[in-house]
């Protein structure tokens, strides 16, 4: 069996290498010719799997995407051709929750805000949106959930888009949908952008084309700019460079790029392919993860917002990602190069809080009682 996988998927050799030939390459460079003798294709969100890509894929029997979203996959085509398909729902929801939490705390410093009592509109309440909502509630924020398809089934749990867009901070977590009853392409269009208050904050950690970047640039160059956090960009890997100086936090589509999230994504496809072939699974996700650089910390009192921000930065410093983005912006291939060489990032749950932990567990950390004397381990030279 021959497997072709995106080079940014970790542990493919460890999981599949004992019973398949594994070849990796950049996800954007996968070509129809490469698929001539391939049995299994494993991709991430940057590879569009459509009729053109599969034109020469005569042996292909399984396609997997190590992502939550599937808008880059023509699943109807796969079904017609009898090609099995698997995705990884929920694999990076924790990482995106970490990213948005770090962004919220950075925004709070920038604007001099206490987040408790502020409103957060969450547009799209699937796996990642629900995770973000839980983190915000742990900060004491009032959360407004907006998800029109789900609102049809449970209208009392959700607000309309107009109400969500009136929140102090609005975070987007929708798939990219071009048609149908609930399209999301340019959900934030010129008219909507013009109607927002200059005091508001917008966060996009889903798909770049959900926001009209040119319309945003026009707004940002005017007298009442918004505060923006952008992990995704229209026309990736191209970036509207003039917009970047007007963005508080700019990153290269890495919100879900934790090591744990990547392991979950790869493992979900490993599990699905094992079931497809009738193979026994030899690994668990935990076996693939190395020990974290910092294992535990003891807190003597419940952490306030400033202490939470310090704890988050111990595990994930979002400002380092922003600085790297700005440093290499404009260089040929910078966007994909940052993704390919992204440093190993652990999730907040890799850090155990001891003592008086407050809402630590709801914020994403592990918690336990007892002393840190035997658990506190600093393995990184920070």
Backbone angles phi, psi at 144, to 5 degrees: -110, 120
Residue whose C-alpha is closest to residue 169's, from 234, 241, 116: 116
Is 374 annotated in a binding site? The answer is no
257 belongs to an annotated ligand binding site: yes
Tell whether the torsion through CA atoms of 210, 215, 221 and 223 is positive or negative: negative
Using the CB atoms, write b or e for 138-174: b if 16+ within 10 Å: bbebebbbbbbebbeeeeeebbebeebbbbbbbbbbb
The token duo for 247 is 């963005």
236 a catalytic residue = yes
User: Residue 67, annotated ligand binder?
Assistant: yes
- 253 catalytic per annotation: yes
DSSP sequence for 14-50: HHHTTTSEEEEE-GGG--GGGGTT-SEEEE-TT--BS
Instruction: Tell me which of 72, 106, 173, 207 is the catalytic residue.
Output: 207
Task: Provide the edge-to-edge strand list for the sheet that holds 249-250.
Answer: 142-146, 119-123, 169-172, 201-204, 227-230, 249-250
Q: Which of 106, 131, 219, 236 is catalytic?
A: 236
DSSP 245-303: GG-SEE-SS-TT--HHHHHHHHHHHHHHHHHHHTPPP---HHHHPPPPSB-EEEESS--
Tokens 């990213």 label which residue?
Answer: 99
CB 259 within 8 A of CB 285: no
Six-digit token pair at 376? Answer: 């506190």
Measured CA to CA, the distance from residue 174 to residue 96 in angstroms comes to 13
- Indicate the domain borders of the chain: 2-87+258-288, 93-250
Distance between CA atoms of 41 and 31, rounded to whole angstroms? 12
- Judge whether 312 and 102 are in contact, CB under 8 Å: yes
Residues making up the chain, counted from first to last: 382
- Active-site option among 106, 135, 253, 339: 253
Q: Nearest CA to 252 among 170, 337, 187?
A: 337
Interior/surface letters 341-352, b for 16+ CB within 10 angstroms, e for the rest: ebeebbbbbbbb
Active site residue 131: no
Instruction: Confirm whether residue 317 is marked as ligand binding.
Output: no
The annotation status of 333 as a binding-site residue, yes or no, is no
What pLDDT is stored for residue 377 in this prediction?
33
pLDDT at 67: 87
Distances (CA, A) of 147 to 87, 168, 175, 365: 22, 18, 11, 27
Edge-first strand order for the sheet with 84-86 is 21-25, 2-6, 40-43, 62-65, 84-86
pLDDT number for residue 369: 57
How many Å from the N-terminal Cα to the C-terminal Cα in the chain? 43
Q: What is the mean pLDDT of each run of 10 residues along the chain (382 residues)?
A: 94 92 95 97 94 96 91 94 94 96 98 98 96 98 96 92 98 94 96 97 97 98 98 97 98 96 94 92 87 95 97 98 98 95 96 96 86 36 34
Q: 298: which residues sit within 8 A by CB, 6+ positions away?
A: 353, 354, 355, 371, 372, 376
Question: Which own/partner pairs from 303-308 qualify as long-range (CB within 8 Å, at least 24 positions apart)?
Answer: 303/357, 303/358, 303/360, 305/105, 305/108, 305/114, 305/115, 305/116, 305/139, 308/105, 308/139, 308/363
Q: How far is CA 375 from the centre of its chain?
A: 30
CATH number attached to the domain at 93-250: 3.40.50.720
Whether residue 270 is annotated as binding a ligand: the answer is: no
Residue from 127, 108, 129 nearest 308 by CA? 108
CATH class in words for 2-87+258-288: alpha beta
């Amino acid at each position: 069996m021959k497997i072709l996988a995106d080079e940014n998927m970790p542990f493919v050799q460890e999981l599949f290498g004992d019973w398949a030939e594994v070849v990796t390459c950049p996800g954007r460079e996968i070509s129809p010719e490469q698929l001539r003798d391939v049995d299994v294709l494993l991709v991430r969100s940057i590879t569009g799997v459509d009729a053109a890509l599969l034109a020469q894929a005569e042996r292909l029997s399984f396609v997997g995407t190590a992502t939550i979203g599937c808008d880059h996959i023509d699943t109807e085509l796969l079904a017609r051709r009898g090609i099995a398909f698997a995705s990884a729902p929920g694999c990076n929801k924790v990482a995106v929750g970490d990213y948005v939490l770090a962004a919220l705390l950075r925004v709070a410093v920038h604007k001099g805000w206490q987040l408790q009592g502020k409103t957060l509109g969450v547009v799209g309440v699937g796996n990642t949106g629900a995770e973000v909502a839980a983190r915000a509630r742990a900060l004491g924020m009032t959360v407004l959930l907006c998800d029109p398809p789900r609102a049809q089934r449970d209208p009392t749990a959700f607000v309309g888009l107009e109400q969500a867009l009136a929140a102090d901070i609005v975070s987007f977590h929708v798939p990219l949908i071009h048609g149908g009853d609930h399209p999301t392409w340019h959900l934030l269009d010129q008219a909507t952008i013009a109607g927002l208050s200059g005091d508001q904050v917008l966060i996009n950690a889903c798909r770049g084309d959900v926001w009209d970047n040119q319309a945003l640039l026009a707004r940002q160059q005017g007298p009442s700019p918004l505060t923006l956090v952008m992990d995704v960009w229209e026309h990736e890997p191209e970036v509207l460079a003039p917009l970047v100086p007007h963005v508080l936090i700019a990153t290269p589509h890495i919100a879900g790029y934790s090591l744990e999230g990547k392991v979950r994504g790869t493992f979900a496809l490993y599990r699905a392919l094992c079931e497809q072939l009738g193979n026994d699974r030899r690994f668990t996700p935990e076996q693939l993860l190395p020990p974290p650089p910092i294992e535990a910390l003891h807190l003597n009192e419940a952490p306030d917002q400033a202490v939470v921000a310090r704890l988050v930065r111990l595990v994930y410093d979002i400002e380092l990602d922003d600085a790297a983005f700005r440093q290499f912006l404009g260089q040929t291939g910078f966007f994909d190069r940052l993704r390919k060489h992204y440093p190993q990032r652990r999730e907040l749950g890799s850090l155990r809080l001891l003592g008086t932990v407050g809402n630590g567990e709801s914020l994403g950390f592990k918690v336990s009682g007892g002393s840190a004397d035997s658990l506190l381990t600093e393995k990184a030279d920070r």
